[in-house]
Amino acid sequence: MVKVKFLGHAAFYIEGSKKILIDPFLTGNPQAVAKPEDFKDVDLILVTHAHGDHIGDAGEIAKISGAKIVAMYDIANYIAEKFKGVETVGMNYGPTEVDGVFIVQVPAWHSSSDGKYSIGNASGFIVKLDGKTIYHAGDTYVFKDMELFSELYGPIDVALLPIGGHFTMGVKEAAKAVELLKPRTVVPMHYNTWPPISADPEEFKKLVGDKAKVVVLKPGEELEL
């Protein structure tokens, strides 16, 4: 069994034979339901891009847990320089395997910086764990090549998609992404953390219709795959 737990904003904890964090923005996250020290036994930390609300506490958690951080090559180097002793796996768009976990870094249409300087490119991740396929879109607008993700690596069991608009897809665009990705289940994220990204997940659910099962998770809730 694989469990996908929503930690608030775009942070998720995936638990199966391996324990994986994605975009662990906890400190300073008004939606956060966990602290960095809660993840002393995590195996991998995936970072989609360098913005503070995604890179978050990745370095601190890696120091606590000994977890490897997987990120775009440039971002991995940035983290390794900032957090001495932390083990990183720098990659680029494409597939790899890290400690028995199949990971594909896929494009995302978004910027990536520390707030001052550009660092690498934004991405999403497709993760295959214990026979389940999870797609975390990171921050992105919808784009037609999303069709390839399901074609190459599907079926996608759950897609974690931003719906907040302003910086990412809004509900209309995210519903179109569902049509392209063809996931079995979709969980909306990256909304209502701050006023600029306010969105109604029920409106998203209506727009998706019967294209996929929409599960709206509150921070702290989890989905069993």
Residue type, 159: A
Structurally, what CATH architecture does the domain formed by 3-220 represent? 4-Layer Sandwich (3.60)
Residue 43 binned pLDDT confidence (cut-offs 50, 70, 90): very high
Residue 31 binned pLDDT confidence (cut-offs 50, 70, 90): very high
What is the predicted pLDDT for the residue at 90?
98
What is the predicted pLDDT for the residue at 194?
97
What is the predicted pLDDT for the residue at 2?
97
Query: What are the tens digits of pLDDT across the range 158-198?
Result: 999 999 999 999 999 999 999 999 999 999 999 999 999 99
**199, 192 contact by CB (below 8 A):** yes
According to DSSP H, which parts of the chain are helical?
52-55, 58-65, 73-82, 146-153, 171-181, 201-208
Average pLDDT over residues 134-142: 98
Query: What are the tens digits of pLDDT across the range 80-111?
Result: 999 999 999 999 999 999 999 999 999 999 99
pTM above 0.85, yes or no: yes
Average pLDDT over residues 4-32: 98
What is the predicted pLDDT for the residue at 210?
96
* Cis previous bond, 36, omega within 30: no
Q: Enumerate the domain spans of the chain.
A: 3-220
